[in-house]
Structures are given as C-alpha cells and as structure tokens.
Structure 1
Amino acid sequence: MTARILVVDDIPANVKLLEARLLAEYFDVLTAANGYDALSICERTQVDLILLDIMMPGIDGFEVCERLKDNPRTAHIPVVMVTALDQPADRVRGLKAGADDFLTKPVNDLQLMSRVKSLVRLKTLTDELRVRAATVEAIGMQDGLAGAMGDEPGAVLLVDGKGNSQDRIARALKPIADTTCLSDPQAALFEAAENPYELVIVNANFEDYDPLRLCSQLRSLERTRYLPVLLIAEQGHDDMIVRALDLGVTDYLMRPIDPNELIARSLTQIRRKRYNDRLRSSVRQSIELSVTDGLTGLH
C-alpha cells in the first residue's frame, strides 16, 4: 500500500524525522513548514493523509484542520495531529476541529505506521465511493451529496464485560446516541449483524475473552464489514492497539475515559458512517437506474 502523505511542522528536525520514517515504508512524502503552505498544497495536489503539528506560527494546527474540513475539496482527507500537547482538552478540541486522530511526541513508530496505514485504507475506500457517486451526479441520475448528515441520535452498540463501566459509557453517550449494552461478545456479533448500528464500541476489559477476536469477526462478516469499531484499551497496551488497527478497528480510546473525548470520537465515526452510507446508496441507485425502467420497474 502506498499513498501521498503531507507532513506539516515548523521545526525542520521533526519534519525530517517523520519524512525518513515514512519514506522507509515507501510512502510518497510532501512537506510544509506552516499552515498556509499546507492549505495551498492540498488545494493543488492530491494528498491522502496529513500529519499536522499544532503549535505553528501564523495559523495553528486547529485552524488549519478546520479550514480543511470546511472545504469540500479537502474535507475527506484524514488528518492526524502530531503534537507535544497531551491533555484531554487538547484532543477534544482537535477532534471537534475535524482531526481523525492524535499522536503525541515523541511519536511511537508502531502506532504511527499502524494509524497511517489504517487511515489510508479508509480513505481509499471512501475515494472509490466518491468517484462513483460523482459520476452518477455528473450524468444527472441523482442530486448532489452535499448536505447535513442529520442531527438525530446515533445507534451505538457497546460491548463491555463490566456492568458499571457499561452504565458510565452509556450515560456519557446519551446526548448523542441511543446505546445498546451487551456483555456477551458472541451475542453482540449477532446483534451487530442483525440491526442497523452506526458504531460498535468494544471495551477491552474481559477477563477470559480476547476482544480483538470480536473485532476480527466484525470485519469478516459481510453485514458488519464497514461498521466503525472503536476500541477502549488500557494505558500502555500499545501492542493491542497496533494489532487492532491492523485488523481494521477504526479508532481507539485509552482508559481512563474522558467523556468529552468519547463523545467527539463517537460523533466522528457516526458521521463518517452516514456519509459513506450515502455514497454507497448513490452507487446502488445508479446501478438500478441503469438496468431498470423507473416507470414500469421492468429490466
């Protein structure tokens, strides 16, 4: 897998370090020393992922991210903020600005490459759907996809081995989602396959069960293959996080859980799910229209 990655940082040593790591994995790397240059590059060049520093002169990383996400031409590009800031409030602010993830300096190589590869895979899928939907729109078979994703509560399935943490997480999510809680992973797999959930949250607190097995099963079933999965893990379990991202887990959160970060990450996944569902619906409708008469329903 290859991709074009933009590294944005005003400190040349940081840029060189990230550039060397990415080039070693055969990624195509672009660099920018400030936010204005980054925005200009994204406007005129295809970029698959952005590693964005926060503390920069001129405009900071938060504003750069907001401008990228407000621009329809760049809104789909995944943004990972790479920063020395490690407070929950900083992560929440970044996620509200539209960032897909955070990496804290000094950057862990395994987490860096796993997160980059995971987000590149996700963007590749989204890009394919966007191209097909744009073709449908261009030939006049369907209206544009622009518009709000809706403010109705999301449908979330929480898989958690402990009742007390189930209650805390469900209460935290109440403003944005209707949450179904299960403690049996296999029952949760059937539940996810049979109902239209928009996010599955897997809390890795089971005493006698590997939560990554459930994540893998969710990715292997046709009905749940594109369902976002958010893993909650213990601090220091970097190997589990890396393995989870390799298996296709969409996002992760470390304990102790900050409720605001939980809400921000969940909203990001729900909105992305709705956007991709609309793209897939556009593609399905275009196929139906190409082989079916709209008046009679006959081929």
Structure 2
Amino acid sequence: MTARILVVDDIPANVRLLEVRLLAEYFEVLTATNGPHAIEICENGKVDVVLIDVTMPDMDGFEVCRRLKSDPATSHIPVVMITPLDQVSDRVRGLEAGADDFLTKPVNDLQLMTRVKSLVRLKTLTDELRLRASTTRNIGIEELLSRNFASADTTPKVLLIDERKSSFERVQKMLRGSADLDIATDPHAGFFQAAETPYECVMISTGFADFDPLRLCSQLRSLDRTRFVPIILLA
C-alpha cells in the first residue's frame, strides 16, 4: 500500500523518526515544522493522511486540524493527532477539532502502521466517491451515451518492466496473440511510460540487479493516472 503522508512536528528528530518508519513501508513522506506550512502543503498538494503533533508553538495541532476540517478543499484528508499525554480531555478536544484518530508518544510501530493504512484505504474510497460525484455533475447523459466503447474482444495493452532479456522474451512468447505487449528494460523509463500510456495492466519483474521493484509499485500507486491500474509482480 502506498500513499503520501504529511508529518508535522516542530522537533526535527520526531519528524525524522516517523519519516524513516513510513519510508520503510514504501509511503511517500512530506514534512512540515509548523502549522501554517502544513496547511499550505495540504492546500497545494495531494496529501492522503496528516500526522500532526498537538504541542507546537504559535499554532498547535488542534488549530491546524480545525482549519483543515473547516476548509472544503481539505476537509476530506484524514488527520491523526499525536499527543504526549493519553488524556481524555485531549481526545475530546481533538474530536471537536475534527481529528480522525490519535496516537500517544512514544508512537508504537504497529499502531502507527495500522492506523495509517486504515486511513489510507478510507481516503482512497473517499477520493473515488468524490470523483464519481464530480463526474456525474460534469458529464451529461447524452454525452455519456454517445461514447464509443471498445469492444470486448479488443486486445489489451500491457506493459512489462523487466531488464533480463531471457525473462521478457519468455513472457513475450507466452502472451503473443493475447496482449499488445510493450517492454521497458529500465525501471525509471518504465515508470514514465506507464504514466504516459493508458495500459490495462503493468507487469513488473523482481529480478532487477540495482532497483527495488516494490518502490516502483509504490510510485505507480501514488500517481493519479496509474493508481488503479492492475499490477502483476513477477517473482
């Protein structure tokens, strides 16, 4: 699972600690050291989950959460508040500000990943529903019915990213006549090729000598144009 996570804390060591944990799970991590910067990132970029410390100077985490939840452009972004004290009053105040979940310092790895992954799934579903609602408003029925849909027997367009000749030639032979197969031997070039071409499936080999194939999967899932494209990992 991949997503873009914003970590907000005025203490650099705390930011780095969470960043390392999230990067190890192939999340893309953004960071901010104060409330106004965090709000700016959420307004200007795609953020899937916000992890924010409640005890920051000038603008604390409660105020940042309240402002994010009061803005229609950012109200759908899940916010997890990180508090040094497991106090009921803090949780009540956080809920009143619109927080979606809470973590207590020191943050437990299992709790962190469980909450983040759960909220990422929620955010993905929310984004899909918002997109469908927007599409319904923007596309008229006549335009929808006038579209020319591809026939069911159209050969699917597939991308294979594999640097080993013997491997991709074998797959190429197996899919001959069943799929319109493109091959990329460089993973970086393959990523851009997948983003620029409407493939129905992307196949990724795990046999790269100097590249992590899971990182490539994560990058494809983080891009809007390839977020829902099926990925087959060849191990």
TM bucket normalised to smaller:
0.5 to 0.7
TM-score, length of structure 2 as denominator length:
0.59
Please list every run of at least 4 consecutive aligned residues from structure 1 whose deviation after the TM superposition is greater than 4 angstroms.
Answer: none
Letter in 2 for 1:71: D
Cross-structure match for 1:91: 91
Partner in structure 1 of residue 17 of structure 2: 17
Matches within 5 A, 1:156-235: none
**2:106 alignment counterpart:** 106
Per-residue deviation at 1:140?
Answer: 6.3
Shift, 1:57, TM fit: 1.3
What is the deviation of 1:139?
Answer: 3.4
Q: Give the share of equivalent positions with the same residue, in percent.
A: 75
Structure 2: give runs of 5+ residues left out of the alignment: 142-235
In the alignment, is residue 35 of structure 1 matched against residue 64 of structure 2?
Answer: no
Report SS of the residue matched to 2:56: coil
Which amino acid in 2 is paired with 1:91? R
Q: Distance in 2 between the 1:85 and 1:46 partners?
A: 30
> Could you tell me which residue of structure 1 aligns to residue 55 of structure 2?
55
SS at match of 2:38: helix
What residue identity is the alignment partner of 2:74?
T
The whole-number CA distance in structure 2 between the counterparts of 1:26 and 1:102 is: 22
Structure 1 residues 82-104: Cα deviation after superposition (integer angstroms, max 9, x where no partner): 11021101101101110001000
Q: Which amino acid aligns with 2:92?
A: V
Work out the CA distance in 1 between the residues paired with 2:19 and 2:47: 15
Name 1:271's counterpart in structure 2: none
Question: Any idea what SS the aligned residue of 2:82 has?
Answer: strand
Structure 2 residue 80 is the aligned partner of structure 1 residue 69: no
Residue correspondences, number:
141
Residue 119 of structure 2: aligned partner = 119
Residue matched to 1:45: 45
1:236-275 matches, within 5 Å, as none
Give the drift of 1:137: 1.8
1:48 partner amino acid: D
Q: What RMSD in Å do the two structures reach over aligned CA positions?
A: 1.0
SS in 1 for 2:85: coil
Alignment deviations for residues 120-159 of structure 1 (CA, whole Å, 9 cap, x no partner): 0111011101001011122368xxxxxxxxxxxxxxxxxx
3-state DSSP class of the match of 2:43? helix
Q: Secondary structure at the match of 1:50?
A: strand
Residue identity matched to 1:54: V
List per-residue Cα deviations over 1:150-171 (Å, max 9, x = no partner). xxxxxxxxxxxxxxxxxxxxxx
Distance 1:71 1:30 in 2: 20
Report the 3-state secondary structure (helix = DSSP H, G, I; strand = E; otherwise coil) of the residue aligned with 2:113: helix
Match of 1:10, SS state, is coil
| Cα distance in 1, alignment partners of residues 138 and 58 from structure 2 | 38
- Provide the rounded CA distance (Å) in 2 between the counterparts of 1:117 and 1:58: 30
| TM-score, scaled relative to structure 1 | 0.46
Amino acid at match of 2:117: K
Distance 1:71 1:140, change over 3 A: farther
Matched, 1:132 2:132: yes
What is the CA–CA distance in structure 2 between the aligned matches of 1:140 and 1:48, rounded to whole Å?
Answer: 30
Equivalent residue letter for 2:127 = D
Specify whether residues 63 and 140 from structure 1 end up closer, same or farther in structure 2 by C-alpha distance, changes over 3 A only.
farther
